[in-house]
Amino acid sequence: MEAQKPNVAAKPATPKPAQAKAQKKSNAPGIKNAFWVIIICGIIAVSLFIFVFGNPSNFDEEGMPINGNLLGTIYKGGFIVPILQTLFLTVLVLAVERGIALSHAKGKGNIAKFVAAIKACLIKNDIAGAQKLCKQQGGSVAAVVSAALVRYEEMDKNNILTKEQKIVTIQKELEEATALEMPSLQQNLPIVATMTTLGTLVGLLGTVIGMIKSFSALGAGGGSVDSTELSVGISEALINTAFGIATGASAVIFYNYYTNKIDNLTYAIDEIGFSIVQTFAATH
């Protein structure tokens, strides 16, 4: 008879590492798909152009804007006007959206005071106090600092890794937490930057079209000048120029303003991150 094989006790299943944690969300909420913002702004712009600026009450019997009527004058800017209005409204909406998002990202208190308070806690090696400050502050900067402090405590209790490896681990946590927040901070700003150039170019296109109409009126009149056609062309040129400049200027102002705010948040993160790493290096 064949020797019966001994029953081998089944090995306990090796516990699998926890499944990927629920993806963390950034602390800078905002509009994820600006395409719909542009579509909605386009619908509003066309509606305004047709039903408000193009209202018959804005024009006289000859179809010319009533003297002093700005709405009728804008309507004479032609089909480029609603395009420019779409761009202008998009800039305004995204500017408000970025303002709200960056306000959430900044947190509840003053960033400079928060940075100073965290550094004071680090000097006293009061990690619990620093975490408490992060919870009170909220926002992107506090989220990055909190993640780094959690890793700081883990490395403080770790007896396996070398000091250099621990420092690298803390730095890596800082980089990962910052990488999570930065895209949300900068979200939609490239669109605003694009409007800087696009608004000016579309306005210039409207200006050129208006001037072409003006010179066509001059050429078609022979010896006499059709003042009505000439004024329509000039109005179209100037209205489009005005809207183009307004769109481009607004986009530049908002883009630079919010870029500066993001830079301030980034500097705060870098400053606290450097302090965390230096504190760990000095105390371990």
8 A C-beta contact, residue 32 and residue 94? no
Q: What is the pLDDT along the chain (284 residues), one digit of tens a residue?
A: 444 444 434 433 433 433 333 346 667 678 888 999 999 999 999 999 999 999 999 998 888 888 888 899 899 889 999 999 999 999 999 999 999 999 999 999 899 999 999 999 998 989 999 999 999 999 999 999 999 999 999 998 889 999 999 999 999 999 999 999 988 999 999 999 999 999 999 999 999 998 888 888 777 655 565 676 777 788 889 999 999 999 999 999 999 999 999 999 999 999 999 999 999 998 87
d(CA 57, CA 71) in angstroms, rounded, equals: 10
Residue 142: predicted pLDDT: 94
Name the amino acid, one letter, at 152.
Y
Residue 23: predicted pLDDT: 46
Residue 168: predicted pLDDT: 94
Residue 225: predicted pLDDT: 59
**Of residues 269, 268, 266, 263, the one with CA closest to residue 148:** 269
Residue 65 DSSP SS3 = strand
Residue 10: predicted pLDDT: 40
Residue 223: predicted pLDDT: 53
**Of residues 139, 102, 148, the one with CA closest to residue 121:** 148
